[in-house]
Structure 1
Amino acid sequence: MTPLADPHFLPFKLDPVTRRVLLLRMDAVQRREAAFLDERALKPDAEGGWLPLATLRDATLEPAPPAAAIFHIGHCGSTLLSRLLEAWPGVQSLREPLPLRTLAEAWPHREEVDSRLAPPETDALLQQLWRAWSRPLAGATRTVIKATSGCNGLIAPLLAQQPALRALLLDMPLRPYLATLLKSADSVRDAAVAAGERLRDLHAHGYGDDVMLHALSLPQQCAMGWLAERVRFAALAQAHPQHFLRVDFEHLLAHPQAVLQAIAAHLSLDPAGVAAALQAPAWGRYAKAQDHGYGRDDRAHDLALAMQRHADGISEGVAWVDARLQRHPQLQALA
């Protein structure tokens, strides 16, 4: 059996420069423990190797039910949500596989002369990667892929390839989102890195008319990204309600049973699994590092503190969004 034929081996890294893909063996425990499927999940004794990109692109992979997905705006509880879904028997989660981020970075430039991946090749790789990740290990029947927040530009092409796709679109209200970002320089940087693609999408929807990225402060870039994703998510959910369910993280925390019931219905999960999800240990743990206690009260305390400490930056971001809503009143419903 070749590594590509074995679902234990995951496409772990894509290298467009050397035109290779790294496959690594990861068992169910490793997948469950990994908050990120990138270098942080590598073990010293990792088993795997590099294959030519064409081998993945042209492989015939065993069919599997297409993975469900969590797309999100970043730092809004997506890791916790993915762990709650693992409370359902037979569900395995893959969190932020690195090749998806590589493809998302390449996608806007694939028509340009210096692109290392041709447009038909990016299409084929997206389809093959999703097929490979969709294959559950023995004992599991469903896979849920939590994408990196910078991968939202792949939602539309993925839907075009996967007519049975079911996905959750996760975000949160503006003020707590800004507070969550501004308390961490790394989080602000994540949002700023994604801001370029988000601004292009805001322009594509007709709401970015006079906005230039270089003229925005960091809090404004964070707020612009929030608005751009709200516009994107609303358009997707309105056009394809059978494929996309919008989820508000604050609503999940406040009304977990109702939100989890809606999620179970959307993903065709056994409604009896909601009870197990409500009792999942993940509620009382830091989602990205399960050995650290971090419950609802901790989240609320940290958020209140961030609201205080970063009040000026939050106000700056909110003012930018308010000005955009005045310019485009039809966006009021999204705020």
Structure 2
Amino acid sequence: MAGALRSRSRRNIVDTKSSEDDSVQSSLQDSEPEGDLESYSKEVLNALIKDGLPPTPNNFSLYFDRLLEDKSQSTHKQISSILELEESNEDENSVRLEQSLKQGFSSVKNILGVTANLYKNMSLMTKILDKRAQELKDSPDEKQSISIVSSLEEDILKLNTILKKQSSNMKTMYDDTAKIIKNVENETIFDNQYGVYNKRNLMTKVEQEIELISKFKHRSSLIMIELARDLKDSIKNEKAVMLMTKTMARLLLKTSRRSDTVAHYGNGVFAMLLKHTDIESAKKASERLSELVSNSNFFLGDREIQLKISIGITDVTEEHSVEEIIVSSLDGIEKAYQNPKLDFAVLLRTPSE
């Protein structure tokens, strides 16, 4: 009896200890800082390693979303609010763009339909004219000839009415299609001429980076690049300058990281948004870029030309607007031209500027 009681007591002690451990474990879990992105990222990385998967960006992204589904609502909300700062609504923009393109295709299809009807009516009118001409030729009677001419006049009036209506419809469809195409152009983020992002996307990315910097206090830089003006002036060949500029654009893409944004700002001036990159690192990146470009020779006929670029560097800060940051980087290019020995120059703005 005593043994049984002693055994039961021991079991109760074990159960109590187990309950206490669970309570402590639960307390520890509750004490973990919810929404801590750094801790959560480590958890995602550990899960990848545990499952024997390489921690590539795609795998990390997949696990990041999958593990987040099992988190508490509070953690999910806090981490999601952080991620929203990096989102650019690309899916939403793609849907709008696709809808616009479908409308454009529909309008073009309608225009082709009206054009086909116009062609049919013109062909019909040609046949009518041939028929009436033959009737006039075969008719010796003046009275009958007048009747034929009168019938021809009626045919022409009818056709004229139809053509006016169809022409009006075609003009309306053409105007609608032109508006759709214009909207599509305004929504695009890609520069087809150089194979990089366009100015619109650049402005959006810099604005998003400013918001991220204001929250996480990291450092990022913006560099603006163009073919050296003395080089362009010495060529005096627009087609050759265009080819050299395209070569430069390809080199920018080649040297950029996955996180960088390479864009055509306009008039042969390009930009690179270097995320999580301070000024010193941006200088090193500019040096590598200048060296890469200078080692890429361009042949124009029998003439071998060494490519050369000018770069302006500035920091992205929360104290300045997108426009001020871009202007600062452009001013850096002008500063580089003041010293022929420089390929790039840094221009920083104080918060009061």
State the TM-score, normalized to the length of structure 1.
0.21
* Greater RCO, 1 or 2 (C-alpha within 8 Å, sep 6+): 1
More helix by share: 2
- State the TM-score, normalizing by the size of structure 2: 0.20
Which structure has the larger Rg?
2
